[in-house]
Amino acid sequence: MYIDQASAQDLQAHLAELEKQYAEIQSAKLNLDLTRGKPNSAQLDLSNSLDGILTGSYKAEDGTDCRNYGGLDGIAEAKALFSQVLGVKPSETLIGGNASLTLMFQSVAFAHLFGVRGRDSAWANEGEIKFLCPVPGYDRHFGICEELGIQMIPVAMDDKGPLMDEVESLVKADPCIKGIWCVPRFSNPTGIVYSDEVVDRIARLGNIAGANFRVMWDNAYAIHALGDDAPQLANLMDAARRHGTEDSVLIFGSTSKVTFAGSGLAFMGASEENLKHFKKHLGMSTIGPDKVNQLRHVKFFGDLDGLLQHMSKHAELLKPRFDAVLKHLEQGFSDSDLGSWTVPEGGYFVSFDARPGLAKEIVRLAGEAGVKLTPAGATFPYGKDPEDKNIRLAPSFPSLDDINKTMEVFTVCVKLASVRQKLS
């Protein structure tokens, strides 16, 4: 139904039917959750052989006893493997604990408090600090900025990435802007992949913004394709080398959705100069990461081909869940003016845009019908979606049956909220 073209009489009849459906859903007393992009149990089971894989042999290739202290930036074989995921040299790689979010927070906090090149370069010395935030985006990135008192400036995106004319204009005009958040492949939540041109222009930002600017390149879904034909992402560090901006780039990744979400590895790629400064501050808070876990991950995967073969097993489990979400969206809204959505080829989310002014109401209706959705506004800085229309759907964790039930409820809630708004 195109409600902008429907008569009031038709809308009233449609509303009566939708309210009946909604009441029936409420009576079912559902308890479903589509909030966060967590791996499901079958995905976690793919890595169960990590347990005991070292069989009592804890020596790294160079003879390091991984059970002991030390090795602030990780063991050599882990750097050799995961540098290929980051697209940097092993010497430009640091292997951390289980969460890339920790490395991102530390990177911003160190730059803010201690500087990117000593205390004279600390962002905090300059008063008000700002970050560019392509939207819709990742709420935990926004949380880092809020925690550190960094002002966030939303920047719109299209299917090629952030609108770079706007980004470059903002950076040129405001020296208080010290960074930009990016999820470049299968972006959270839209699933888009940045185009080659956008990657190249982002690599040039360091020449526009100055030495203290940092591109926070959270390539969380770098290897999370749903099929062999998914679009590739240009190498940011290679582009930065061409433009002489290597020091402006910090690249992050992890195995959080590859092996055990709570017991994986995080890694960071940066110029050797950047890593030198980062490790100086990191060494004040730790004597070294869990090298035993690093060693068992390297043994589990073997090499990059082994890692990619493992990811194809994830895709087999995830694709039917994404297909189910997209099927319901297509059936519910393809012939209507009630919303639009992305069709990602990887990552963990589907982004749905309702009619403006309805996201909070849709989430409220779903919640009262027993379906938890990501809070409306979560994909924007400060939790404020100016058009109140974006909703992030996360199909990875629930069973296929629960996804189908959830999407049936979601479809009714979108229609009900839309018709009520139009009639009001």
Residue 53 lies in a domain: no
Please check whether residues 72 and 39 belong to one and the same domain: no
Residue 386 lies in a domain: yes
Please check whether residues 28 and 72 belong to one and the same domain: no
Please check whether residues 76 and 127 belong to one and the same domain: yes
Give SS3 for 358: coil
Of 387, 366, 391, nearest to 378 by C-alpha is 391
Please check whether residues 33 and 179 belong to one and the same domain: no
List the pLDDT tens digit at each of the 424 positions of the chain: 899 999 999 999 999 999 999 999 999 999 999 998 999 999 999 999 999 999 999 999 999 999 999 999 999 999 999 999 999 999 999 999 999 999 999 999 999 999 998 899 999 998 899 999 999 999 999 999 999 999 999 999 999 999 999 999 999 999 999 999 999 999 999 999 999 999 999 999 999 999 999 999 999 999 999 999 999 999 999 999 999 999 999 999 999 999 999 999 999 999 999 999 999 999 999 999 999 999 999 999 999 999 999 999 999 999 999 999 999 999 999 999 999 999 999 999 999 999 999 999 999 999 999 999 999 999 999 999 999 999 999 999 999 999 999 999 999 999 999 999 999 9
Number of domains forming the structure of the chain: 2
Q: What angle do CA 193, 158, 335 make, to 5 degrees?
A: 100
Give the CATH number of the domain where residue 89 resides.
3.40.640.10
For residue 213 the two structure tokens come to 């600017």
Q: Would you say 185 and 222 are in contact if contact means Cβ atoms under 8 Å apart?
A: yes
The residue segments making up the domain with residue 343 are: 8-43+308-423
Residue 339 lies in a domain: yes
- Residue 32 CA to residue 274 CA, distance in Å, equals 44
Last residue of a domain, one of 280, 302, 324: 302
Using CA atoms, how far residue 352 sits from 166, 296, 374, 389, 411, in Å, is 24, 39, 12, 8, 11
Please check whether residues 248 and 351 belong to one and the same domain: no
Please check whether residues 104 and 148 belong to one and the same domain: yes
Last residue of a domain, one of 302, 330, 349: 302
- Tell me the pTM: 0.97
Last residue of a domain, one of 277, 302, 327: 302
Report the number of secondary-structure helices (H) and strands (E) in the chain: 14, 13
- Residue 232 CA to residue 303 CA, distance in Å, equals 20
Could you tell me where the DSSP H helices lie in 28-75? 41-45
Residue 2 lies in a domain: no
Residue 15 lies in a domain: yes
Please check whether residues 391 and 265 belong to one and the same domain: no
Burial class (CB in 10 A: 0-12, 13-18, 19+), 166: middle
Alpha-carbon 325 to chain mean position = 19
Other beta carbons within 10 angstroms of residue 383's beta carbon come to: 14
Q: Would you say 170 and 208 are in contact if contact means Cβ atoms under 8 Å apart?
A: no
Please check whether residues 286 and 318 belong to one and the same domain: no
Q: Would you say 388 and 359 are in contact if contact means Cβ atoms under 8 Å apart?
A: yes
Please check whether residues 139 and 252 belong to one and the same domain: yes
Residue 411 lies in a domain: yes
For residue 156 the two structure tokens come to 């719109």
Please check whether residues 298 and 409 belong to one and the same domain: no
- Residue 135 CA to residue 43 CA, distance in Å, equals 29
Give the CATH number of the domain where residue 398 resides.
3.90.1150.10
Please check whether residues 199 and 328 belong to one and the same domain: no
Please check whether residues 200 and 337 belong to one and the same domain: no
Residue 57 lies in a domain: no
Residue 298 lies in a domain: yes
